[in-house]
Amino acid sequence: MDTILEILETIKPGANFAASTDFIEEHLLESMEILQLVSELNDEFDINITLPYIKPENFKSVESIHHMVQEILEDE
């Protein structure tokens, strides 16, 4: 999860992702930032986040992003 936090902080420096429970509702991540995050996660974890995974509940928190990455890794 530390890697995910590092990626988030490069996308939006200064945002307190560690303390947030809903990035979408708190406007920490907008659509273009989510696309950038998807690209960074794909590269970092050597995965392919496809359309079924790109939904708000998978990008609400560090934990939900981590869970999504783990699920994709297990499926591949």
Residue 41 CB partners (closer than 8 Å, separation 6+): 4, 7, 47, 49, 65, 69
9 CB-side CA count, 13 A: 10
Residues 20-46 have pLDDT tens digits of 999 999 999 999 999 999 999 999 999
Report the predicted TM-score, pTM, of the whole model to 2 decimal places: 0.95
